[in-house]
């Protein structure tokens, strides 16, 4: 009986083709939408708001001494689009790794 249960579970896993695997932060960022309207906020704070709303871990490293303030409005925008827009405005690179989204200064 245990063998039958095990083989049934194995068959289900094979038929789902990996559908049970966890989605990457980038995949999640492309699916989750955010809505916010922020005025005169540092880029790192905007990224943090996206992190809170989307539940995607954000690692933010801006330029030393940067005093840039952003005003952004996102309405049903994918978290990925929002993060990419923040990176563009802050002149930073955005990359995804297994544990979240990373903002880093351009080299």
The span from the CA of 57 to the CA of 73, in Å, is 21
Task: Name the 3-class secondary structure at 38.
Answer: strand
The predicted-structure confidence for 31-70, as pLDDT tens digits, reads as follows 999 999 999 999 999 999 999 999 999 999 999 999 999 9
pLDDT digits 0-9 by tens, 77-107: 999 999 999 999 999 999 999 999 999 999 8
Contact 61, 44 (CB under 8 A): no
- List C-alpha distances in Å: 29 to 38, 54, 67: 20, 7, 27
Domains of the chain listed by start with CATH number:
22-105 (3.55.50.60)
Residues written for the chain: 107
Q: Which of 37, 10, 26, 6 is nearest to 84 (CA)?
A: 26
Residue indicated by tokens 């980038």: 26
């Amino acid at each position: 009986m245990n063998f039958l249960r095990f083989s049934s579970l194995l068959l289900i896993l094979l038929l789902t083709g990996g559908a049970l695997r966890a989605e990457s932060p980038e995949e999640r960022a492309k699916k989750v939408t955010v809505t916010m309207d922020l005025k005169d906020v540092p880029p790192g704070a905007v990224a943090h708001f996206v992190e809170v709303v989307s539940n995607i871990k954000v690692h933010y490293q801006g330029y030393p001494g940067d005093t840039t303030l952003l005003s952004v409005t996102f309405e049903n925008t994918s978290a990925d689009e929002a993060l990419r827009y923040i990176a563009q405005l802050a002149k930073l690179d955005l990359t995804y790794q297994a544990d979240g989204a990373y903002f880093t200064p351009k080299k």
